[in-house]
């Protein structure tokens, strides 16, 4: 379990992180979302030790991080980079060895990873000869080659086509299943919504929400329901505890004051006419995001 405790960081006069605290649980994928300049990259750099925090600590399983533990982290920075003139496999092996792997171990990990990422055919090509999407896959291999204990990915999906997104997603899910904490940032909220188990929302250097995806969704879910009836739904307007927001023949969107009211509405609907659909309306992640960062 990776924990951040009250991390502060300023660049000159500008305070980029303010008391940032959150937890990344092992075996779960944590999505890290925030607008441009909200502090995502800085937070990740602080986790990796590439930047020092002005104050606050990062702990792994309760103990402050050491430089040695950090070298067992996997990191994919926002600014992608590999040596353009080195061969793909050679480069991943080199990074694996810098992390302390034996040559044989680094080689076998590199080959199986590149195979899974669909780069098996391109192992001996130079990085500069790959398309941007394929360079991106190689970059993910670079972050995963040493079976990291913690994985930190800054925008891992940007620049990937939908098929590549699926490939990478599967590799990451498999990786999270081994029990390591995984945190990734993304602008693509639909992907985060599908992929992550936990969510951290940052805005202006402050954490605005963090916790399990369902928990956050429940917090931001209004007691709002949708109903589609076979007959007219006009009677809903006169039901106590109900506020109708939208109404069109048999369709209605309404808020209730309590769960009991919702149940009463459903029972009455069944008693009077046929019910084609009755469901609570869940907000999408982008709706929650907009609400939270305001």
Partner 1 sequence: MSTYTTPALLPATWLVAEREIRMRLRSKAFLVSTGILMLIVLGSVIAGGIFGANQSLPKVAAVGSAVTKVEATDAFDVTEAASVDEAEELVRDGSVDAAVVPSEGAVGLTVIGLDETPSGVVSLLSVAPQIEILEPSDQNPGIVYLVAIAFGIIFFSSALTFGQLIAQSVVEEKQTRIVEILMATVPVRVLLAGKVVGNSLLAFTQILLIAILAGVGLLATGQDILLAEVGPSIVWFLVFFIIGFVMLAAMFAAAGALVSRQEDMAGAITPITFLIMIPYFLVIFFYDNPFVLAIMSYVPFSAPIGMPLRVFLGIAEWWEPLLSLVILIASTLAIIAVGSRIYENGLLRMGAPVKFKDALKA
User: CA–CA separation, 189 vs 44, rounded Å?
Assistant: 18
Find the binder of partner 1 among 94, 175, 225, 289 (CB under 8 A). 94
Q: Which of 85, 237, 277, 290 binds partner 1 (CB under 8 A)?
A: 85
Stretch that binds partner 1, among 16-24, 144-152, 189-197, 246-254 (CB under 8 A): 144-152
Nearest distance in Å: CB 15, partner 1: 16
Query: Any alpha helices (H) in 149-275, and if so which ranges?
Result: 162-177, 189-195, 213-219, 259-272
**Alpha helix positions (H), 237-284:** 259-272
Segment contacting partner 1 by CB under 8 A, of 138-146, 231-239, 250-258, 262-270: 138-146
Residues near 178 by Cβ (< 8 Å), separated by ≥ 6?
27, 147
Q: Does 177 bind partner 1 (CB under 8 A)?
A: no
Complete edge-to-edge strand list for the sheet that includes strand 275-280:
242-248, 251-256, 224-229, 275-280
Using the rule CB under 8 A, is 142 a contact of partner 1? Answer: yes
Q: In whole angstroms, give the CA distance from residue 54 to residue 9.
A: 5
**Residue 122 DSSP class:** G
Site string for partner 1, 265-284 (x = CB under 8 A): --------------------
Selected range binding partner 1 among 83-91, 193-201, 268-276, 279-287, rule: CB under 8 A: 83-91
Contact 131, 57 (CB under 8 A): no
Beta strands in 116-237 (DSSP E): 150-154, 182-185, 198-203, 206-212, 224-229
Closer residue to partner 1 (CB): 70 or 187:
70
Q: Does 101 bind partner 1 (CB under 8 A)?
A: yes
Number of residues that bind partner 1 (CB under 8 A): 38
Cβ nearer to partner 1, comparing 69 with 212? 69
Distance separating the N- and C-terminal Cα atoms of the chain: 29
Q: Which of 27, 64, 84, 231 is in the footprint of partner 1 by CB under 8 A?
A: 84
Interface with partner 1 by CB under 8 A: which residues?
45, 48-51, 67-68, 70-73, 75-77, 79-86, 94-95, 97-102, 105, 109, 142-143, 146-147, 149, 178
């Amino acid at each position: 379990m990776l924990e951040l405790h009250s991390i502060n960081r300023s660049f000159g006069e500008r305070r980029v992180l303010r008391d940032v605290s959150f937890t990344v649980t092992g075996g779960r994928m944590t999505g890290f979302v925030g607008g441009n300049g909200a502090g995502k990259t800085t937070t990740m750099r602080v986790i990796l030790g590439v930047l020092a925090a002005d104050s606050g600590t990062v702990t792994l399983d309760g103990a402050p991080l050491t430089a040695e533990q950090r070298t067992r982290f996997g990191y994919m920075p926002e600014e992608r980079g590999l040596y353009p003139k080195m061969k793909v496999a050679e480069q991943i092996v080199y990074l694996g060895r810098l992390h302390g792997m034996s040559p044989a171990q680094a080689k076998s990990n590199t080959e199986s990873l590149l195979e899974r990422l669909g780069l098996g055919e391109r192992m001996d090509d130079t990085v500069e000869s790959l398309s941007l999407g394929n360079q991106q896959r190689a970059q993910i291999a670079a972050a995963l080659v040493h079976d990291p204990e913690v994985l930190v990915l800054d925008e891992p999906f940007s620049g990937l086509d939908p098929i590549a997104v699926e490939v990478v997603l599967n590799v990451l899910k498999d990786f999270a299943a081994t029990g390591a904490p995984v945190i990734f940032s993304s602008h693509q909220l639909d992907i985060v919504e599908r992929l992550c188990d936990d969510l951290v929302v940052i805005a202006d250097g402050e954490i605005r929400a963090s916790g399990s995806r369902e928990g956050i969704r429940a917090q931001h879910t209004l007691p709002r329901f949708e109903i589609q009836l076979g007959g007219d739904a006009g009677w809903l307007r006169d039901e106590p505890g109900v506020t109708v927001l939208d109404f069109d023949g048999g369709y209605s969107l309404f808020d209730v004051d309590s769960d009991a009211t919702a149940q009463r509405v459903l029972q009455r609907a069944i008693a009077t006419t046929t019910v084609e659909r009755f469901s609570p309306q869940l907000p999408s992640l982008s709706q929650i995001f907009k609400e939270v960062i305001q």
